[in-house]
Amino acid sequence: MAKHKTPLLDQLESGPWPSFVSDIKQEIEHRYANPKGVDYQVPAECPDDLLGLLELSYVDGETHWKHGGIVGVFGYGGGVIGRYCDQPQKFPGVAHFHTIRVAQPSGMFYTTEFLRQLCDLWELRGSGLTNMHGATGDIVLIGTSTPQLEEVFHELTHKMNNDLGGSGSNLRTPACCLGESRCEYACYDTQELCYQLTQEYQDELHRPAFPYKFKFKFDGCPNGCVAAIARSDMSFLGTWRDEIRVDQKTVAAYVGGEIAPNAGAHAGRDWGKFDIQKEVVDLCPSGCMRYENGKLEINDKECVRCMHCICVMPRALKIGNDRGCSILIGAKAPILDGPQMGSLTIPFIKVEEPYDEIKEFIESVWDWWMEEGKNRERIGETLKRLGFAKLLEVTGIKADPRHVQEPRHNPYIFWKEEDVKGGWQREISDYRVKHQR
Amino acid sequence: MAFLEYKGKKFEVDEDGFLLKFEEWSPEWVEYIKESEGIPTITENHQKVIDFLQDYYKKNGIAPMVRILSKITGYKLKEIYELFPSGPGKGACKMAGLPKPTGCV
What pLDDT does residue A285 have? 98
List beta partners, residue A296. A291
DSSP category for residue A168? S
Start-to-end Cα distance in chain B: 21
Residue among B18, B77, B81 whose CB faces A75 most closely = B81
What pLDDT does residue A76 have? 97
Report CB contact under 8 Å: A69, B15.
yes
Average pLDDT in chain A: 97
List beta partners, residue A291. A296
In the predicted model, what is the mean pLDDT of residues B101-105?
76
**How many CB atoms are located within 10 Å of the residue A321 CB?**
10
Average pLDDT in chain B: 93
- Answer whether residue A187 shows pLDDT above 80: yes
Report CB contact under 8 Å: A75, B16.
no
Residues 6+ positions from A378 with CB-CB distance below 8 Å: A212, A213, A233, A330, A332
A contacts of B87 (beta carbons < 8 Å): 72, 76-77, 207-208
The percentage of residues in chain A with a pLDDT greater than 90, rounded to a whole number, is 99
List the CATH code of the domain at A175-240+324-418. 3.30.413.10
A47-105 per-position pLDDT tens digit: 999 999 999 999 999 999 999 999 999 999 999 999 999 999 999 999 999 999 999 99
List the CATH code of the domain at A7-159. 3.30.70.2500
Q: Are A177 and A107 in contact (CB under 8 A)?
A: yes
In the predicted model, what is the mean pLDDT of residues A225-248?
98
Task: Name the amino acid, one letter, at A83.
Answer: R
List beta partners, residue A139. A102, A132
Q: Which residue among B23, B103, B104, B105 is the active-site one?
A: B104
Residues 6+ positions from A310 with CB-CB distance below 8 Å: A185, A244, A317, A318, A319
A-proximal residues of B, 67-86, CB under 8 Å:
67, 77-78, 81, 85-86
- Answer whether residue A178 shows pLDDT above 90: yes
Give residue B105's pLDDT band: very low, low, confident or very high (50, 70, 90). Answer: low
B contacts of A378 (beta carbons < 8 Å): none
B contacts of A211 (beta carbons < 8 Å): 65, 67
- Answer whether residue A9 shows pLDDT above 90: yes
Residue among B62, B77, B103 whose CB faces A209 most closely = B77
Indicate the SS3 state at residue A392.
helix
In the predicted model, what is the mean pLDDT of residues A29-35?
97
Among all residues of chain A, which has the CA nearest to that of B36? A74
Residues 6+ positions from B6 with CB-CB distance below 8 Å: B28, B29, B31, B32
Q: Is B35 on the interface with A (CB under 8 A)?
A: no
In the predicted model, what is the mean pLDDT of residues A174-181?
98
Please tell me the distance from the alpha carbon of residue A227 to that of residue A363, in angstroms, as a whole number: 23
The reply to whether domains A175-240+324-418 and A245-318 share a CATH topology is: no
Report CB contact under 8 Å: A72, B102.
no
Please tell me the distance from the alpha carbon of residue B59 to that of residue B72, in angstroms, as a whole number: 15
Residue among B16, B62, B77 whose CB faces A71 most closely = B16
In the predicted model, what is the mean pLDDT of residues A317-327?
98
Please tell me the distance from the alpha carbon of residue A116 to that of residue A124, in angstroms, as a whole number: 12
Among all residues of chain A, which has the CA nearest to that of B63? A375
Query: Domain-by-domain residue ranges, chain A?
Result: 7-159, 175-240+324-418, 245-318
Give residue B101's pLDDT band: very low, low, confident or very high (50, 70, 90). Answer: confident
Give residue A393's pLDDT band: very low, low, confident or very high (50, 70, 90). Answer: very high
What pLDDT does residue B104 have? 72
Report CB contact under 8 Å: B105, A209.
no
Question: Does the predicted model carry a pTM greater than 0.90?
Answer: yes
CATH fold of A245-318 reads Alpha-Beta Plaits (3.30.70)
Chain A: which residues have CB within 8 Å of chain B? 66-78, 81-82, 84, 96, 167-169, 203, 207-211, 213, 370-371, 375-376
Q: Are A34 and A25 in contact (CB under 8 A)?
A: no
C-alpha distance from residue A330 to each of A92, A344, A346 (Å): 42, 9, 13
Task: Name the amino acid, one letter, at A349.
Answer: I
Q: What is the dihedral of CA A253, A254, A260, A265, to 10 degrees?
A: 150
Residue among B62, B90, B102 whose CB faces A72 most closely = B90
Q: Is B104 an annotated catalytic residue?
A: yes
Q: Closest Cα of chain B to A371: distance in Å? A: 8
Please tell me the distance from the alpha carbon of residue A18 to that of residue A230, in angstroms, as a whole number: 28
Give residue A2's pLDDT band: very low, low, confident or very high (50, 70, 90). Answer: confident
- Answer whether residue A118 shows pLDDT above 70: yes
What pLDDT does residue B2 have? 86
